[in-house]
Amino acid sequence: MKLSTVEPVKKKVGLALSGGGFRAALFHVGLLAQLAEFRKLKEIDTISTVSGGSIVGMIYYLHLKKWLESNDRPIQDEDYLGIVQAVENDLLNIVQKGFRTFGFRGLHKLYTMTGDELSEKLDEVFKSILNEKHHLSLNDLKIEPLYGQNKPPKIIVNTTSLNNGELWLFTSEENSQIKEYLNEIAKVEGHHNDESHCLSGFTVGKAVAASAAVPAFIKPVSIKKDSLDIQLVDGGILDNLGTNSLLNEGCNHLIISDGSKYLEAKPKPSNFLINVIVRTQNIFINAIVRSNLNNIDIDQEHIDMRYALPRYTRANKELGEVNHGVDIKVQHYLSNMRTDLDSFSEVEAKSLMLLGYKFGLAEFSDMDFLRNLNRMKLSPDQDWQFKSMKPRFQNPDEDYLKELKVGKYSLFRRFRKRFAKLD
């Protein structure tokens, strides 16, 4: 018998952390916890992040960088648990303060903040993780493991260029679009470009801020040099899942953590200008999400916070199916939570994490049973902070449901809660 000489296709795993403000970022933490427990984080080759997903994705990546560059031994499954616990703690601290504050600084500033304001806040977070004195530049992103056999993932931060309407990517390995930008400068100024100098002047916080700069709420992030002016906004405008970047990297297995906005049906939509803009943007992003998912024909695990909710269907899921033991009202209110970077209460934050954790458990339990009967879940009793919400999550009382319901609003939540009526 003649043996085949065809090389087996190497598995390349990509993790997509979608946009959706702090709502999505918190959901992703629960999913990261399950990835750690199911021993899957060490398999990740590339992480693609968008908007809120870029915030939590970068926090995770920097904690991993800190570990890999400080330990001269193979990284173990238990080490990943500790890294995700650090991410959980960081994000809980961040969201209870929030990045965006509302105030009467002039009506035009009631909702908006600048990309520079956001990037400054993010830079402080990122440099504190690595205990650096200065803000991290893109040059500082690449991981150089102390133990050579440890393989770090690549991270891609997705943004959208207003100049040409295409994705603009910042990565931990190469930044080809910045090279092209510098080549344009060289043509204009007639001198050799200096990529390292440009990268050192562009901070990690600025890249993530660009990814999270939702139009009409956060002003674009600029890359300026003489006559050139690149304006960057939320990567979710073109791809709120971040899957296109993973496919372009050659990933043939995707893990998609999807905290995209739940498009709730409205019998009478508001015609107030800002509400129309937001609603239109949500419709547009949801349409792109559905289109991107339909075009993915490779192995994937899609953990979707809107799973089986009324008026939202997926081709391979039946409407009305039991949602993995999650109370339908709890899931509905959490999936309809505001897409914002302002403060989130402890109840909101831990509930969103727990939702990602429970949905991740359902997805990975099924897939691991089918693919690897010998695989055992690591530390099923891991002491995550968000598990403190489990009793209220499983048996929601009226006060808890009201707090989740008014979470879709950016303003006057305490006042709204007093008069809220449950569906």
Active-site annotation, residues: 51, 234
Q: How far apart are CA 39 and CA 36, in angstroms?
A: 5
DSSP string covering 396-422: --HHHHHHHHGGG-SS-HHHHHHH---
Contact indicator for 68, 150 with CB cutoff of 8 Å = yes
Report the SS3 class of residue 177: helix
Q: How far apart are CA 359 and CA 313, in angstroms?
A: 16
Considering only CA atoms, which of 89, 74, 206 is closest in space to residue 152?
A: 74
**CB atoms inside a 10 Å sphere around CB 9:** 7
List of residues 6+ apart from 119 with CB closer than 8 A: 203, 205, 206, 208, 209, 210, 221
Phi-psi region of 226 (alpha: psi -120 to 50; beta: other; left: phi over 0): left
Lookup: tokens for 230: 């690149």
Q: How far apart are CA 129 and CA 173, in angstroms?
A: 20
Contact indicator for 245, 169 with CB cutoff of 8 Å = yes
List of residues 6+ apart from 149 with CB closer than 8 A: 74
Structure-token match 């024909």, residue found: 297
For 44, list phi and psi in degrees, rounded to 5.
-70, 125
Lookup: tokens for 171: 């990565």
Considering only CA atoms, which of 202, 184, 70, 59 is closest in space to residue 139?
A: 202
Contact indicator for 225, 185 with CB cutoff of 8 Å = yes
Q: Indicate the residue type of 228.
A: L
Q: How far apart are CA 61 and CA 154, in angstroms?
A: 9
Report the SS3 class of residue 340: coil
Under DSSP, the state recorded for 325 is T
Report the SS3 class of residue 79: helix
Structure-token match 């990814």, residue found: 211
List of residues 6+ apart from 412 with CB closer than 8 A: none
